[in-house]
Structure 1
Amino acid sequence: MKTLQNQTLLYDKDCPLCNVYTSGFIKAKMLDDNGRKAYCDLTNEEQNFIDLKRASNEIALFDNKNKTVIYGIDSLLKVIGNSMPWVEKIGNLKLIKFGLKKLYSFISYNRKVIIPSKEDQTQTLQCVPDFNYKYRYTYILFASLVTSIVLFKFGKLLNVIHESTFLRECLMALGQIGFQGLFISKLKIEKQLNYYGNLMTVSLMGSLILIPVIILNSIIEIPELALLFWFGLTATILLFEHIRRIKLLELPTVLSATWILYRLLVLLLILFL
């Protein structure tokens, strides 16, 4: 790979996703050994020419010599395009770039609910994205839709329950938000939406675990008992992930109990109605 010299990417040290792809650029020799820097480690001089607010939402790439900065998808296209010019050329096409910018914003504004981490309160500079209602609601709806589709497909493989319908799965996916909302209604709306984002990420994780089984079953028929075991294992994994996220968010532990309660109530409704 052709190395982009004297350019440094700013990244969120508390974001596992950001850590992975920025270190990946260095390992792939797209950036030199000094090609990334944690946002919280910015010097006073660097803070003078970098838009700190924008850099917390869009990853910044700054030129160490000329002190110029580009942000977001432009910075990523420049890093990748230095090694693969065709990627930058395609990425800069008007419609493609519009889509990439929207996708980038969708991920960036939701990165703290996709892969949460405990904030280091000792840091003076915190790389926390602005709260964006549009992208948070979009993420919740997206995760709900994917979860509903996967559960609908998986439900069709089981004979022990009434035939699955897409509407039912949608109501179940969105219903958990309303149910859990009963127990956090006194919190600020942003904190509620942070929880709902994490809640739907947990559901999305479950969908990703179920998808391989759905695909495999289309090739060879899997015994229903094995499918039920896999579903139970998935639910157990999700419970522990929900508990972990509740601790990170410093929310009441009762939310994990109500998370279980909701699923038990839904199961009873499916079995007996």
Structure 2
Amino acid sequence: MKTLQNQTILYDEDCPLCQAYTSAFIKTGMLDENGRKPYNQICEKEAEFINIEKAANEIALVDHSNKTVLYGIDSLLKIIGTSFPIIEKIGKIPPVNYLLKKLYSFISYNRKVIIPNSKKVETKLKCEPTFNLKYRILYILFSICITTIVLFKCSAILPYIPKSNYTRELAMASGQIVFQYCFLFNKDLKTIINYLGNLMTVSLYGCLLLTPLLVINQFTDITARVALAWFFVTVLLIFLEHIRRIEILKLPKYLSFTWVLYHIIALYLILNFTL
């Protein structure tokens, strides 16, 4: 690997994803040993030429030799392109670059609802992305679509469940948003949207846990007992994850129980009525 010298990437030390890929840059030799630095350790001299707000939204690559900064996908292409020039060339093709920037923004602006972290001691600089309603709503819609598809596929495996369709699963996946909102109506918009983002991440985690069940079922028939056990373990794990996120967000604990209530009501309707 060709090492990019005298440049430092500023990362969010509270984001496991950011920690993982910046650490990989060091271990693979794409950056030297001093090639990464936590965002909250930006010094006053660096703050003179770094766009602090932009660096919180898009990971920044600081070139100390000429005091210039690249942000977001451009910084990643620079690092990877030093070792693999062809990747940088492809990434800079206008349509490809546009899509990469949109994908990067989609992940970056939602990273705190994908992997939230507990609030630490107050620091002068916090690497928290600006609240972006557009990308948060897109994330919620994306999560609803994935959840709908996985629930539909799983319904064919689970015993005692009436034959499903995408309309029913879409109603179930999106209905929890409306149901939970009823218990958050007195909160501000940002708090509500942040919670709903976390709520749908919990659903995505459930989908991830159920995916192996779907894969195994492609090769061998899964017994009703195994399918039910797998499903209930998944429900337990995502319930615990919901509780954890409620604590991080400092929201009322009863939201976890209204979440359970919603799924009990939905299951009752599915078992007793044709949706």
**Deviations 1:226-250 (Å, cap 9, x if unpaired)?**
1111000100000010000000000
User: Alpha-carbon deviation of 1:159?
Assistant: 3.6
Provide the C-alpha distance between the structure 2 equivalents of 1:119 and 1:127, rounded to a whole number of angstroms: 12
**Deviations 1:114-139 (Å, cap 9, x if unpaired)?**
00001324211011111111100000
Maintained 8 Å contact 1:5/1:32: yes
Maintained 8 Å contact 2:159/2:228: no
SS at match of 1:69: strand
Answering whether residue 208 of structure 2 is matched by residue 170 of structure 1, we say no
Q: How many residues align?
A: 273
**Deviations 1:46-101 (Å, cap 9, x if unpaired)?**
00000001111111101011111011100000001111111111111111111100
Residue type at the aligned position of 1:255: L
Provide the C-alpha distance between the structure 2 equivalents of 1:33 and 1:62, rounded to a whole number of angstroms: 15
Provide the C-alpha distance between the structure 1 equivalents of 2:63 and 2:19, rounded to a whole number of angstroms: 20
Maintained 8 Å contact 1:136/1:193: yes
User: Alpha-carbon deviation of 1:28?
Assistant: 1.2
Could you tell me which runs of 5 or more consecutive residues in structure 2 were left unpaired when the two chains were aligned.
none
Could you tell me which runs of 5 or more consecutive residues in structure 1 were left unpaired when the two chains were aligned.
none
SS at match of 1:157: coil
Alignment of 1:52-131 (within 5 A): 52-131=52-131
TM-score (norm 1): 0.98
User: Alpha-carbon deviation of 1:213?
Assistant: 1.0
Aligned-residue identity in percent: 54
Provide the C-alpha distance between the structure 1 equivalents of 2:237 and 2:27, rounded to a whole number of angstroms: 32
Provide the C-alpha distance between the structure 1 equivalents of 2:17 and 2:158, rounded to a whole number of angstroms: 35
Maintained 8 Å contact 1:14/1:119: no
Provide the C-alpha distance between the structure 2 equivalents of 1:253 and 1:5, rounded to a whole number of angstroms: 49
Provide the C-alpha distance between the structure 2 equivalents of 1:195 and 1:37, rounded to a whole number of angstroms: 30
Maintained 8 Å contact 1:162/1:270: yes
TM-score (norm 2): 0.98
SS at match of 1:4: coil
4+ residue segments displaced more than 4 Å: none
Root mean square deviation, CA, Å: 0.8
Residue type at the aligned position of 2:20: V
User: Alpha-carbon deviation of 1:255?
Assistant: 0.5
Which residue of structure 2 lines up, in the alignment, with residue 182 of structure 1? 182
